[in-house]
Every structure is written in structure tokens, then in C-alpha cells.
Amino acid sequence: MSTSHIFSAFDEELKFLMRRISEMGGLAEQMVADSVRALVNTDVALAQKVISDDAIMDATEREIGDKAVVMIARRQPVAADLREIIGALRIASDLERVGDLGKSNCKRVVAIQGTGIPRKLARGLEHLSELALQQLKEVLDVYTTRSAEKAKSIRDRDEEIDAMYTSLFRELLTYMMEDPRNITSCTHLLFCAKNIERIGDHATNIAETIYYMKTGAQPEGERPKEDLTASVGAIKE
């Protein structure tokens, strides 16, 4: 077998990994969007669909993991080729967790069923998820184009999601204080909001991984990602 044959087989295998990761990314986006629709419309059937989609995510992550180990053992890649495979493993792990967060939202649909979500809270959740999905979509585009600069810039801005999440957090607390009957459903919505905010963390992780794949280094400087609600103390009632 000629060297070019070996390279070409390796390239085919890399393309396979990239294709699978794109598929996982697409499904993760769909699951998160569907989970918010299911919450807002208390659509139990849609929630059930997202919950069952999670098995596809798990199986694909496993497939990528198995393939990656076989590729490393057989092709013995070094430098950028090796980082490409290690990076695929990390990104698959982050996307699998995004799927888990969508599934977690959907499991709460049944708990809040019948209570009805005030329109303002529903809009807040939708807006938060739009921001998180936008960030996820951009980072998946960067995965295709491999721009280290773009990857760094995604990692460096996450403040909008954090601000939106903090505002929703405060609003949910206010609803709970106004009427104790809101406490159970608002608690579930708090966890859903947190789940969506965490999608931003995973997008940031993926951006860091892409930067690493491209440069072999980690982006410098403290990660800007913070949960600002941790400092929300007593709220005026």
C-alpha cells in the first residue's frame, strides 16, 4: 500500500468523525429547541420524543469513541492529526451533555403540567434558549471552518446569556414570592433555565477544543464564564 493510500484512508476516517460530530451537533440543537417548545406548550409527546432521541446521542458518542481509539491504534497519528482525534472525543462528550440537558428539561414537562407557565416567563426561557442555540450553532460552524480566531472570540463572549439567565432567575424568584403555589413549577423552571445556561458553557468548551485542535495550545486568560446568580442575595419583595 502506498503512503498516499494510507493518508487518504486516514482522511476518510477523519471525515467520518467530522460527519458524526456534525450530526450530533444538529441533533443536540434540535433537542434543546424542542425541549423549550415542550416546556412552553407543556407538550408531553414532544418531550417524550426528545427523551428517546438521547439514546441516539449516547450511541453516537460511543461510536465516535470506539472509532477514535481504533484510528489512533492503527494510524498512529501525531501532532495536528492526533489533536484532531482527541478533539473529536472532547467535542462528542460536550455535545452528549447538551443532549442530556435537553432531556433533563423534558423530564420536567410532566412535573409542571397543568400549572401553566406565565407568558412572560415563557418568553424569557425562549429568549435564553435562542441565545444559547445561537452560540452552539456558531461554534459548530467554526468546527467546520476551523478558525482559531473565531473560536477564541466565541469563548470570550458569553455575557449576554449570563445576563439573560440572571434576569430570568430573579423573575422566577419573584413569582415564587408572590404566590407559594408557584414554587414547585418555578423551581423546575429554574433548573431548566440553568440547563439552558449550561449549554453556553459547553459551547465555550467546544470553542476551546477547536482552538486547541488548530494551535496545540489552550486559549490564554481566565474563562469569562460565570454563574452570576450565585451572588443574588435577598431580593426586595
DSSP-assigned states of every residue in 151-183? HHHHHT--HHHHHHHHHHHHHHHHHHHH-GGGH
> Cα(116)–Cα(112) distance, rounded to whole angstroms?
7
User: Is 6 a residue that touches a copy of itself (CB under 8 A)?
Assistant: no
Q: Which x/- pattern over 128-167 shows residues binding a copy of itself (rule: CB under 8 A)?
A: ----------------------------------------
User: Is 126 a residue that touches a copy of itself (CB under 8 A)?
Assistant: no
Given 145, 149, 220, 233, the residue binding a copy of itself (CB under 8 A) = 233
Spatial neighbors of 155 by CB under 8 A, at least 6 apart, are 204, 207, 208, 211, 219, 223, 224
Q: Taking each helix axis from N to C terminus, what angle separates 44-75 and 3-40, rounded to the nearest 10 degrees?
A: 160
User: Is 117 a residue that touches a copy of itself (CB under 8 A)?
Assistant: no
Given 22, 30, 42, 115, the residue binding a copy of itself (CB under 8 A) = 115
Q: How far is the CB of 35 from a copy of itself (least distance, A)?
A: 12
User: Is 18 a residue that touches a copy of itself (CB under 8 A)?
Assistant: no
Whichever of 141 and 178 has its CB closer to a copy of itself, that residue is 178
Retrieve residue 4's grid coordinates: 498516499
- Applying the rule CB under 8 A, the residues between 70 and 109 that interact with a copy of itself are 72-73, 76-79, 82-83, 86, 89-90, 93, 104, 107-108
Q: Give the angle 18-159-91 at the CA atoms, nearest 5°.
A: 15
Given 32, 164, 176, 189, the residue binding a copy of itself (CB under 8 A) = 176
Going by C-alpha positions, the residue among 164, 17, 38, 39 that lies closest to residue 92 is 17
User: Is 1 a residue that touches a copy of itself (CB under 8 A)?
Assistant: no
Yes or no: say if 22 and 140 are a contact pair by the CB < 8 Å rule.
Answer: yes
User: Is 113 a residue that touches a copy of itself (CB under 8 A)?
Assistant: yes
> Cα(25)–Cα(30) distance, rounded to whole angstroms?
9
Which chain residues interact with a copy of itself by CB under 8 A? Answer: 62, 65, 68-69, 72-73, 76-79, 82-83, 86, 89-90, 93, 104, 107-108, 110-111, 113, 115, 173, 176-177, 180-181, 183-184, 187-188, 190-191, 194, 218, 227, 230-235, 237
